[in-house]
Amino acid sequence: MLSGAGREGTRMSNERIVVVGAGMVAHRFVSTLLERDTDGRFEVEVYGEEPYAPYDRVALTSYFQGKSPEDLLLGEPSLWDHDSVTLHRDAPVVAIDREARAVRLADGRDAAYDHLVLATGSYAWAPPVPGVDLPGVFMYRTVDDVARLREWVETRQRFFNRPVRGAVIGGGLLGLEAAGALQSMGATSTVVEFADRLMALQVDDSGGEALKRLIEKLGVTVRTGAATSEVRADRDGNAGTLVFSDGGEQLVDVVVFATGIRPRDDLGRGAGLGIGERGGVLVDDTSLTSDPAISAIGECAAAAADGHLSVGLIAPGNTMADVAVDRLLGGDAHYLGADTATKLKLLGVDVASFGDAFAQTPGALEVVYSDPFSGDYKKLVMTDDASTLLGGMFVGDASAYATLRPMIGAKLPGDPSAWILPEGAVERPELELPDAATVCSCNNVTAGTIRDAVNHEGCHDLGSVKSCTKAGTACGSCLPLVKKVMAGELEKAGLEVSNALCEHFTLSRAQLFSAIHVAELRTFTEVIERFGAGHGCDICKPTVGSILASIHNEHVLGGDRAALQDTNDRVMANMQKDGTYSVVPRIPGGEITPARLKVIAEVAEDFGLYTKITGGQRIDLFGARLEQLPQIWKRLVDAGMESGHAYGKSLRTVKSCVGSTWCRYGVQDSASMAIALELRYRGLRSPHKIKLAASGCARECAEARGKDVGLIATEKGWNVYVGGNGGFTPAHAELLVADVTDEEAFTYIDRYLMLYIRTADRLQRTAPWQAEYEGGLDEIRRVVVEDSLGICAELDAHMAHHLDTYEDEWKAVLSDPERLQQFTSFVNAPDTADPSLAYVEQRGQIRPATAEERASGAVLIAPARLEVHA
């Protein structure tokens, strides 16, 4: 019996659930419980031994691509702020007292439970070979494992001043992930597999052979059928040589063991719960252990439906969590066993298998396609009459996986080989998924649920279907299929998936962009005659104006274009609520001399403008009247300043920290970089505003990952992040390329921005554009880095044109009497200010008077007092 001392306080009204383990499955359990426990019946205490909130262990390898542990955190951080949830980090549980219904923490405290959930996961297992505990030998399981591995590789690299020699023991999923991680750190890597093929659980001999060839092409050495008998130390006592049982040897500087996982069932064992023969706490199909007050979910559990074996995949763990929640709330859900279908991208090679991939069903037929040139290997397993799909396996090209996996047990129309021949070789028949088919296996969402969301919940775009059904919100691999099911349903409902810009153009913005580009049109009149109808409107006119500006970079007020521009672009200032404007001169990178600051201050003072520092490290001057804009800009331009384009759908600012020139921590000159970026992309018209930032070190003071393009300095150069947005739907930018030089950074950003400008929808910011781009960021990277579409030269030329033709649009207007005419208050009284303007004083500056203040006569400052003849 554990002592009652130090018990944590309880709220008597609620039932208390204690969750041991704070991994992915624990996260799933808590988020599902919160969502479904609408009466607030339960409160949850989660005890995790790691110092982190639950993170995405499946994505561990992305840690090597520059992601920080915070990026891997699962779901909304606000989950852990919920009143009825408490997350205890660094809090290992050491024992369970079933009689007292309490768990004992390592620090001696107890925590009482009404129901206990074990979600302790598994640990990495290494064979007991000599030398497995030498410095330089690592496991691959936790964020701390990979952090230590990274530190070791970087230290050894500096020490040897040559690429570090790496070896991975284990050629399964984790082993190949680890090999990729070593490569991304600049180490060489050899994969050592005991079995005679890689990924023995997922692919057959031919598949393994194809995988080996594809991976070797990427520079990874593969040794199959090799048993490691010892890790021998070098003279410093670090891992130095791998010794194989056949006597062979290999020199190494770092070794990663990825030889499998074992369930962490020690708490259950200690408490006398039933334990499976090969480990794992035994549970029935309701996730309950032999004690009805204790559930076990995820890899620490051995479920009856899985033959009392622990399954090392996330999807079944999530299902067990959902079942446990359902049962606690009085439901009758069952766990029906793991769907072991997997699709992985290992070192950039797609590997997928599903259903009866090894053709163990009696009479099963295998339809195989193998292409020694591309390296692809594809196989479908069909019933003996070749009509019904039983399973399949893909190595290399797994494009058909998402469509076929839900079709297990269903009839495949036509010749099954259509699905494994290269795409486009034979037309693939249209498949209608059954309602019961699982589309998203991570979150167990069926086609029927998605159809329901479209038909009854009013979800008519991918974003709302995702947030409504949760489909595609975990690994995202099913998104193309989700989109297809949604589009099919919309079409059936007679709801056209319309991309039309407005009633005048049936084309989408992206289509219109290429149409105008190809036809080399220069005026709105030409564009609407050629591709539209009617006379245009406030939607299509600014869009066409922006497209013309993006393509030709001619003055926004030239030709017939002034009438196309939205309010702000038309007068090159930002309209405020009372019809006056704010003025923002460009301050590249936020760097400004005192002399220029003084000019801005004098202008603000002389014109009586309300002055405020913006979020983009520059200065906003409010309350300028239309007819004052040219006078204000004349003084700014004379002092050497130029338009800040604060009014445009275009580059706004490039935020920076001071960087290595002054900062003790800076590793690159981020201020100079920010200025170079701002001068490079200034005036670039785009589908929406664009913001950039450059940080001088990983502390990220410029908040670059909240920007459309963000640079973060590394010892070797810059990590370039893309697709970050603030605003209505915030998003963190994702890594496009790592450790690039200034010049490389410019090249990739040039192409990224041009691709965005050409293909995004009207008013679509980079984050949703990137998410909806076919193939996502990976595909964008292929286009802009590897030139997979062969358009990089054109994108580069387009940006070069922009750079060649840039002019300050305010300076150009000041020297053009005709355009200046547009800056008059009244056509019949050009010197009269708008008499309706009224201001009051606040903190020593002006602000527009409210309706009440106008009515009460409390207006302190009438516009006449602001009249200035500069």
Partner 1 sequence: MTVTAASSVASSRVVVCDYDRLSPELGVAALVEGVQIALFRLWDGSVHAVQNRCPFSGAQVMSRGITGDRGGVPTVASPIYKQVFSLLDGSCLVTMDKEPVAGAAADLVVYPVSIDNGQVIIDLAGGE
Q: Which residues bind partner 1 (CB under 8 A)?
A: 503-504, 534-538, 540-542, 560, 562-564, 566-567, 570-571, 575, 577-579, 626, 822, 824-829, 832, 834-836, 851
Distance between CA atoms of 495 and 498, rounded to whole angstroms? 8
| Tokens (6 digits) for 124 | 């990495």
Nearest distance, CB of residue 839 and partner 1, angstroms: 13
Q: Which is nearer to partner 1, 236 or 818 (CB)?
A: 818
**What stretches of 429-557 show up as alpha helix (H) in DSSP?**
447-456, 462-469, 479-492, 509-519, 524-531, 540-552
Nearest distance, CB of residue 830 and partner 1, angstroms: 10
Nearest distance, CB of residue 836 and partner 1, angstroms: 5
Distance between CA atoms of 174 and 299, rounded to whole angstroms? 15
Nearest distance, CB of residue 810 and partner 1, angstroms: 18
Q: Which is nearer to partner 1, 577 or 843 (CB)?
A: 577
Q: What is the CA radius of gyration of the chain?
A: 32
Q: Which is nearer to partner 1, 175 or 542 (CB)?
A: 542
Q: Which is nearer to partner 1, 626 or 704 (CB)?
A: 626
Q: Which is nearer to partner 1, 127 or 559 (CB)?
A: 559
Q: Which is nearer to partner 1, 344 or 838 (CB)?
A: 838
Helix (H, G, I), strand (E, B) or coil at 208: helix
Residues in the chain, overall count: 870
Q: Which is nearer to partner 1, 561 or 705 (CB)?
A: 561
Helix (H, G, I), strand (E, B) or coil at 250: strand
Nearest distance, CB of residue 689 and partner 1, angstroms: 17
Q: Which is nearer to partner 1, 13 or 836 (CB)?
A: 836
CA atoms within 13 A on the CB side of 110: 16
Nearest distance, CB of residue 829 and partner 1, angstroms: 5
Distance between CA atoms of 663 and 101, rounded to whole angstroms? 55
Distance between CA atoms of 199 and 613, rounded to whole angstroms? 57
Distance between CA atoms of 629 and 701, rounded to whole angstroms? 34
Q: Which is nearer to partner 1, 1 or 851 (CB)?
A: 851
Q: Which is nearer to partner 1, 120 or 568 (CB)?
A: 568
Q: Is the dihedral of CA 114, 281, 318, 345 positive or negative?
A: positive
Nearest distance, CB of residue 386 and partner 1, angstroms: 56
Q: Which is nearer to partner 1, 525 or 842 (CB)?
A: 525
Q: Which is nearer to partner 1, 238 or 576 (CB)?
A: 576
Nearest distance, CB of residue 687 and partner 1, angstroms: 18
Nearest distance, CB of residue 756 and partner 1, angstroms: 24
Q: Which is nearer to partner 1, 333 or 502 (CB)?
A: 502
Nearest distance, CB of residue 580 and partner 1, angstroms: 9
Q: Which is nearer to partner 1, 761 or 834 (CB)?
A: 834
CA neighbor of 17 nearest in space, from 39, 32, 33: 33
Nearest distance, CB of residue 859 and partner 1, angstroms: 14
Q: What share of the chain is helix, strand, coil (3-state, %, to 5)?
A: 35, 20, 45
Please enumerate, as own/partner, the contacts of 702-710 that have beta carbons within 8 Å and a separation of 24 or more.
702/655, 702/656, 702/657, 702/670, 702/674, 703/655, 704/655, 704/733, 705/732, 705/733, 706/730, 706/732, 706/733, 707/655, 707/733, 708/733, 708/765, 708/766, 709/677, 709/733, 709/749, 709/752, 709/753, 709/766
Distance between CA atoms of 684 and 686, rounded to whole angstroms? 6
Nearest distance, CB of residue 609 and partner 1, angstroms: 18
Is there a contact between 320 and 287 (Cβ–Cβ < 8 Å)? Answer: yes
Work out whether strand 734-740 and strand 261-263 pair parallel, antiparallel, or are unpaired: unpaired
| Secondary structure of 770-807 as H, E, C letters | HHHCCCHHHHHHHHHCCCCCCCHHHHHHHHHHHHHHCC
Contacts of 763 (CB under 8 A, 6+ apart): 649, 687, 688
Q: Which is nearer to partner 1, 500 or 613 (CB)?
A: 500
H or E element in which residue 555 lies: none
| Tokens (6 digits) for 404 | 């076929």
Nearest distance, CB of residue 718 and partner 1, angstroms: 39
The pair phi, psi for residue 582, each rounded to 5°, is -110, 150
Is there a contact between 50 and 144 (Cβ–Cβ < 8 Å)? Answer: yes
| Tokens (6 digits) for 119 | 């979600």
Nearest distance, CB of residue 556 and partner 1, angstroms: 13
| Tokens (6 digits) for 651 | 């580059």
Nearest distance, CB of residue 567 and partner 1, angstroms: 3
The single residue listed with the structure tokens 């001088």 is: 696
Q: Which is nearer to partner 1, 208 or 532 (CB)?
A: 532
In the chain, the N- to C-terminal Cα span, in Å, equals 88
Nearest distance, CB of residue 112 and partner 1, angstroms: 52
Q: Which is nearer to partner 1, 196 or 538 (CB)?
A: 538
Nearest distance, CB of residue 539 and partner 1, angstroms: 9
Distance between CA atoms of 665 and 658, rounded to whole angstroms? 10
| Secondary structure of 706-748 as H, E, C letters | HCCEEEEECCCCEEEEECCECCCCCECCEEEEEEECHHHHHHH
| Tokens (6 digits) for 246 | 């056949």
The DSSP letter of residue 618 is: S
